Amino acid sequence: MNTPAALAELDKLQSLHPYTNLRRHEERGPVIMARGRGIHVYDVEGREYIEGLAGLWCCSLGFSNERLIAAATKQLNTLPYYHGFAHKTSDVAIEAARELLAIAPGKMARVFFGTSGSDANDTAIKLVRYYNNALGRPHKKKIIARTKGYHGVSVAAASLTGLPHLHTGFDLPGPDVLHTDCPHHWRFAQPGESEEAFAARLARSLGQLIEREGPETIAAFIAEPVMGAGGVIPPPEGYFDLVQPILKQHDILMIADEVICGFGRTGQMWGSQTYDIEPDILTCAKALTGGYVPFSATLISQRVYEPIAEQSAKIGTFGHGYTYSAHPLGAAVAIEAMKIYREVDIAARVRSLAPQLQEGLRTLAASPIVGEVRGVGLIAAVELVKNKTTRESFPPGAAIAGYFAERAHAHGLVLRALGEAVALCPPLVIEPSEIDEMLARFTRALRDTEAYAERFSK
């Protein structure tokens, strides 16, 4: 009989969980979710939680959205599968591309559909190589990412990711990947250094890295408008305004990783619009289908497309694609999600709700263990510190953010521990009263963590 206890034992015996201490999982087992509605999820024991991270930054329209379910059901009854190989496609894939290009920032001209943010960024890497080979620049292949940036977990995308735990034990990062400074002003600024001065220093550092490596070897720079899994780190004032001219000077492509920021999260439809980024390549996933169906997209400008098209003509084909590229189910749900975003003006809705979340969290800044509260739109993080004056961190053994996340869970709030920070990224359909309740549960977890932190005060 599949009782909750029996299910947990089965899971401990048979599953390999991502981002999990596998030995510890053998002891404690899983939290098993059974259903969801709105911003809430319910485990197999019937306990209710506010899903404060929208699953994995993706369930933007909440759980059990009837329109997304209806779109998926209709498509499964009509054309449950088709592909995009060898001149073939589906009507919904064409429509999804049209809808996406209509709202895309900058000068995006073509769309390649995949299934995840990781494969969208893998596609971007391959396109950068194909593009420069087409232009007769076989040595212009290196891609610059940023420390603490997150771009996925596949071999290529994890190499771009600037987090050590994605590299250690996997022989990563691979070749042709460089990392430049993390743009976290609170943590890495020099004493008295303003955001503008910090941004200028990081831009100079990027320029120096390019010069050391040789501009003729640098193909692209990839960045999330707001860093997500690296700690929810908005850029310092003026950062992208200083970075982009350096890239243009050296003919380096700008890749905007919008996997988390896209579709209203920052208060504009795209994080690129929030921070005046002009991408040559853009990747998105997650909220593209509201998290309901695995689906992603890599968008390119006409400038990037033309050499790629010529190269495919010379070779005889564009030799890239997945079995599930342009899957009709993902395309149909993406179309419906984008219609909903347009009808409710999702970016305006986020802008109207953002002050309540951001200011509500900032009321907690007086806590003895809160070093920084940061965020934009409906994404935020609270950095936990041992010493607010010196910004000294807790010892690694304290696992302070992990403890906070466990206490939040006990109070009915699911959130994410990211290093020394805890993050919130609720569904965009959250209501003002629900923000109040989410903040109340967050505060209770903070008070528990303050008491726990006292043992590390000396």
Average pLDDT over residues 198-209: 98
Q: Are 212 and 187 in contact (CB under 8 A)?
A: no
Average pLDDT over residues 144-149: 98
Cα distance between residue 365 and residue 326, in whole Å: 45
Residue whose structure tokens are 């259903």: 35
Write down the pLDDT at residue 178.
Answer: 98
Return the exposure string of 157-181: e unless at least 16 CB atoms fall within 10 Å of the residue's CB, then b.
bbbbbbbeebeeeeebbeebbbbbb
Is it the case that residue 84 has pLDDT exceeding 70?
yes
Q: What order do you get walking across the sheet with 253-257 strand by strand?
A: 108-114, 296-301, 281-284, 253-257, 218-223, 142-146, 177-180
Is it the case that residue 1 has pLDDT exceeding 80?
no
Q: Give backbone dihedrals phi and psi of 53, rounded to 5 degrees, phi first.
A: -120, 15
Write down the pLDDT at residue 252.
Answer: 98
Cα distance between residue 47 and residue 40, in whole Å: 10
Is it the case that residue 198 has pLDDT exceeding 70?
yes
Is it the case that residue 38 has pLDDT exceeding 80?
yes
- Return the percentage of the chain with pLDDT > 70, whole number: 100
Is it the case that residue 29 has pLDDT exceeding 70?
yes
pTM above 0.95, yes or no: yes
Write down the pLDDT at residue 2.
Answer: 85
| Average pLDDT over the chain, rounded to an integer | 97
Q: Give backbone dihedrals phi and psi of 292, rounded to 5 degrees, phi first.
A: -75, -30
- Return the percentage of the chain with pLDDT > 90, whole number: 99
Is it the case that residue 150 has pLDDT exceeding 80?
yes
Is it the case that residue 175 has pLDDT exceeding 70?
yes
Q: How far is CA 242 from CA 45, 320, 446, in A?
A: 52, 34, 37
Write down the pLDDT at residue 457.
Answer: 79
Average pLDDT over residues 144-158: 97
What are 411-435's pLDDT values in tens digits? 999 999 999 999 999 999 999 999 9
Average pLDDT over residues 108-125: 98
Is it the case that residue 386 has pLDDT exceeding 90?
yes
Average pLDDT over residues 369-391: 97
Give the list of residues 6+ apart from residue 97 with CB closer than 8 angstroms, or none. Answer: 111, 113
What is the radius of gyration, based on Cα positions, of the chain?
22
Domains of the chain and CATH, by start: 31-64+346-456 (3.90.1150.10), 67-344 (3.40.640.10)
Q: Are 158 and 123 in contact (CB under 8 A)?
A: no
